[in-house]
Amino acid sequence: MKIFILILTFLFPLIADEIIIDAQELIADEKSKVTQLRGNVQITRINDKLNCDEAYIFLDKNNKPNKMQALGNVKFWLTLENNRKIQGKANELIYFPNLQEYQIIGNAFVEEPAKKNEVKGEKIIIRYKEGYINIVGDNKAPARLIFKLDKEAKQ
C-alpha cells in the first residue's frame, strides 16, 4: 500500500496537484518496485488525461517513478507548459520522468488540434522541454508530418 501512496505523490515530476487513478485492478509489489494497473485504466491530473488497458509504474531505489508504461488502446490529452494542448493515441506510451521524454509506439499519432498539426509514425519520441521530436516510420508507412501554414498578411 505504501507504493500506491508514493505513486500518487510522485507520478509526474514537480506536481503538487491531485492525481486520480482508476483501474479495475491494482497490483503493487514493494520488492520489485513495480505497480501494475489493469482494466480500463484512467489517470487524470488537472487537464491531462490518459486512458489505456494496462499500465506499469517503475520506481527507483528512492521510490520515485523512473519509467511509466501504458499499453493497449492508449489515448492521451496533455497540456504542455506553454498551454499548448496535444492529444494522441498509440498501442504503447512510455514516459521517462527524469528526461521528460515520451515515447509513443505502434500506430503512433499525435496532434495539436488548435494548430491542425499532426505527426504519424511507428514511433514518436517527444522531449518537449528541449523542443525535440523524432518520428520513425516503417516499411509499410513512412513517418508523416502535416502542419498548417499561416498565410502571410498582404501589405
pLDDT at position 27 is 93
pLDDT tens digits for range 89-145: 999 999 998 888 899 999 999 998 888 888 889 999 988 677 778 888 877 776 666
- Residue whose C-alpha cell reads 498501442 in the numeric block: 91
pLDDT at position 3 is 37
Please state, in angstroms and as integers, the Cα–Cα distance from residue 47 to each residue in 12, 52, 83, 84, 85, following that order.
13, 17, 10, 11, 9
pLDDT tens digits for range 42-76: 988 888 899 999 999 999 998 888 999 999 999 99
Q: What average pLDDT does range 9-14 have in this prediction?
A: 41
Residue type (1 letter), 7:
I
Tell me the Cα Rg of the chain. Answer: 17
pLDDT at position 144 is 65
pLDDT at position 34 is 94
Nearest Cα neighbor of 85 from 97, 76, 75, 74 is: 76
Antiparallel, parallel or unpaired: β 65-79 and 34-45: unpaired
For 15, which DSSP code?
-
Instruction: For residue 88, give the C-alpha cell.
Output: 494522441
pLDDT at position 104 is 95
**Architecture in CATH of 19-146:** Sandwich (2.60)
Could you tell me the residue ranges of all domains in the chain?
19-146
pLDDT tens digits for range 16-38: 457 788 999 999 998 999 999 99
For the full predicted model, state whether its pTM sits above 0.85: no
Q: What angle do CA 97, 99, 17 make, to 5 degrees?
A: 30
Residue 152 has pLDDT above 70, yes or no: no
